[in-house]
Amino acid sequence: MILDPCCGSKMFWFDKDNGDVVFGDIRRESHTLCDGRALEICPDVQMDFTALPFAANTFSMVVFDPPHLVNVGKNSWMAKKYGRLDKATWRRTLAAGFSECFRVLQPGGTLIFKWNEDQILVSDVVSLTEYKPLFGHKSGKNSRTHWICFLKTAPSVLPFFAAEMFAVSREELDGVA
């Protein structure tokens, strides 16, 4: 199963009703944008991404696309479309969000993180989690939207015998190719 805990209007999903995805958002609302388009935020489960209602290690993938705006009017179309963060607490909010997303992600699972750094640099945001990104891609106008992939690795402190069990030598890897 896949979790999208801040799905908004599911803008980047090809299949907005994908049965393999649990779509979540703190909001459930409908709006008419300034250009007349309808904006529907209709998650499967209403949830706060800083306190997810799931057991640890539930999902094989989490897609984390939290609000990225702090300088936006509360009732602006940008806030309605993308959500908004509080200027005073955005670091704490995003750190809690990363923590929760990794908590519900299975070991060996993938977290896809999407961030637009129009107002907050992506480097400031990824520093809020202990996990290090594997790779990423910039996209969008002026390449300010980042798609970043994380892997939930096993805890760094393993018993000695467990670390030996998972060790692979360079020779073993070269023989696989």
Residue boundaries of the structural domains of the chain: 2-176
pLDDT of residue 37: 85
- Token pair for residue 34? 């300034």
Q: Residue 124: pLDDT above 70?
A: yes
Question: d(Cα 77, Cα 91) in Å, to the nearest integer?
Answer: 23
Rg of the chain taking only CA atoms, in angstroms: 18
Q: Residue 147: pLDDT above 90?
A: yes
pLDDT of residue 175: 52
Alpha-helical (H) ranges within the chain are 77-82, 90-104, 122-126, 160-166, 170-176
pLDDT of residue 75: 80
Residues ≥6 apart with Cβ < 8 Å to 127: none
At the topology level of CATH, where does 2-176 sit? Answer: Rossmann fold (3.40.50)
Could you give the 3-state DSSP secondary structure of residue 72? coil
Could you give the 3-state DSSP secondary structure of residue 175? helix
pLDDT of residue 119: 93
pTM: 0.82
Question: d(Cα 106, Cα 173) in Å, to the nearest integer?
Answer: 25
Lowest mean pLDDT among 11-20, 118-127, 163-172: 163-172
Decide which of 73 and 20 is more confident: 20
Is the distance from CB of 140 to CB of 128 less than 8 angstroms? no
